[in-house]
Structure 1
Amino acid sequence: MITVTEDYRNAIYAPIRQIDARVHFTLFGETKTYYDDRIIRFNIVEERETVADTLPANEISLTLDNLDNEFNLLSLSNVDQVLASRPTIEIEFGLVYDDSVFLTFYQADSDGESTEWIPMGTFYLAEWKNEREAKTITLVARDNLDYLSNTPYENTMFEGNMYQLAEDVFIKAGVTDYEIDNNLKTVITSGFKEKLDSRTALQHIGIATRSAIYQDRYGIMVIKPFEVLDASSNYLTFPTQDYYHFGSLYPLVTSGFGMRNIDFDDMYEEPEITLDKSIYSVSINIYDGEETREKSYINNEINGRYGDSFSLDNPLIVNDSMADSVADWIIKESKYNAIYKVNWRQNPALECTDVVIIEDGMNAMKQSRIYRQEYAYEGYLTGITESRGGV
């Protein structure tokens, strides 16, 4: 979760709030900032899967006013280099306070209001479309994972640990801002024996080490085991709307997790809840020297045989111990098969992999981990949060 002030935590779920937006657009080394007078609308998709076939890239679709023709593509002298130069788009939401609020480190405006800005991500331009009739421009941008899918990786002579392998992938791809958890140093590996794209290489590293791989809101590529991410959620606080206690913040600890609260007061409708089948069996290929063999696992906790099967082919899994731990992780993750989809007012400080509590419409509050978020802005903020948890 993005670090915010206590004032923000008290105000973000208030019945009346004002959220502004600003865009920092960098083209050929020059950065310009645009506010709501230029922004028409945008949509951000932020996604982090645990066990998946691909690593999802975050994306933004941004529409700006172009009445003054500032963004006319063909007016650029080196138009052929625009996308190749990877122009950046940085998005921020700002929660606005008036001057009656005690200000700590907000940006003061000339009209006596102050704004606490929350980063929403750094994106790299992929599509640029001028709408001539509407006099607007639409920019589509994605994070570094999209770029890494088109960047080959090859180092068949590698010897070291998973931390060094991940670092080698980043360095060879030209990614300089990254954070790799030190737990990966404990896992020895010989790397990959064949050429592959950098995104797939990172996906293999993530599954072999049971780690989340994503680009954070500040543009930094992050690799962290899920148990590290879950541990960091302990003893969090969440805003309450219990006005008898003047909007105080209370620690909430349930089974070792700190939670955020998404309740009916901030939803537009009851959450949609879908139940996925649990995984009944897992098959993993083990690359043991020159030999490749398959090992199968059964989820004995399912009372029945009706469930999904999962097959995993990962060249970094080289022994039974690694296969056992990965299979155990996959089976445990499949227990979180209740998918909650909430259409609500949104909170820009919440990130994917945050653990939250969701009111489910049956007088119960359910714990789940966010895996996908959508932010829709058109002068005001709404969005959809999708999470996985137990029933």
Structure 2
Amino acid sequence: MRRLYFFSALLVLAAILAGCIGVDLQPPVTQKGGVRGLVYIRQGLGELSAGEDDVLFTVEPLASGEWTALSGAKIEVKNVSTGKKGFGTTEYDGYYEVRNLDVGYSILTVSHRALRHDVQTEVYVYPGEPTWVEAIYVSEPVPHYYFLIIGIENYADSRKSFPGPINDAERMYETLYLGNLLPGEGRRLVDSQATKNAIKNQIQTYVSKAQSTADHLIIYFSGFSGADYLSPYDDTGLGLSKKSITDAELESWLRDFPGYVTIIIDGSYSETMANGIRLEPLALKKRKYTVLTGAQSNQQVQYYYSFQGSVFTYFLWQGLRNGWADDNYDGAITPYELYDYTHAEMLSFYRDKDPSVRHYPFIHRGNSENKPIFKYR
């Protein structure tokens, strides 16, 4: 009997302990906190800021003329453990405050048009009132630019040949690459040099060379194109073939590039390379890519002898070489500024022309739409 009582007591004790343990194992309520502070950048650096200590996170307003408050910047705070994010925006004086954040180590990211690249710093979020982010200097990574300029005028299949692309490519190579003050390297492929394999290999070379998310790949193409494809030199037939470069195939070559990608296409129906229709709906329509084209989905590009090239590239060239596309006069030109300039110029140029020959640019606005691709001063 004693043994029975003793065994029963053990069972009761075990049940109590199990109940206690069960309570202890319940997931704790996630504590909440926040961050706040001010963001400054060095005076006069602008979009092309370079060098060390360009951005300052601080807890006190600065009166020094060396620094200026970064107004209108987007703030993202992501908890390292939970992955949850909080968002905010800096005010006129650079002040930001983000509440309702998970407690613990987090990554604070600042995004702004005046920054060449997003800036990040590690912070610790304490429970309760927002934590002040102490003075931290952050250097922006220096981007490297890669330029691939393609122009195909004389195709292996002569039915695809038409005047203009070689001169277009020469103008873009001389201006966008050789006349560019941004640091980088470039390659020009014209006519028989621009086979499908040669284009693919050059893109893959740049993908393997790029090391930073700040790096930028810019591709320019002038030549024969159709709905959702570009024709390299060795493409045969007047329609889509195995030698064509489709939007999905081009995207597969580009997707491992770690940074920004801007594609400029001077070809008929070229909007279809990024309008999310037909062959691969999400190919180049993803946010990773900014695509600027010389024609919309139902339009053909035009060559003008007085321009010695295509209408679209002529205005691209003028906008770059003269700085006319620089809408905010900061000495640098972005893809969206190029689109805005060429669109206005082409509207004016075609105003009194036959509607059947009119064509206008299109832009898919990706992550690089406001990142500089050309610096002239």
Decide: shared fold, TM above 0.5: no
Output the TM-score relative to the length of structure 2. 0.26
Q: Which protein is richer in helix relative to its size?
A: 2
Output the TM-score relative to the length of structure 1. 0.25
Which structure has the larger Rg over C-alpha atoms?
Answer: 2
Select the structure with the greater relative contact order (CA < 8 A; seq sep ≥ 6).
Answer: 1
Q: Which protein is richer in strand relative to its size?
A: 1
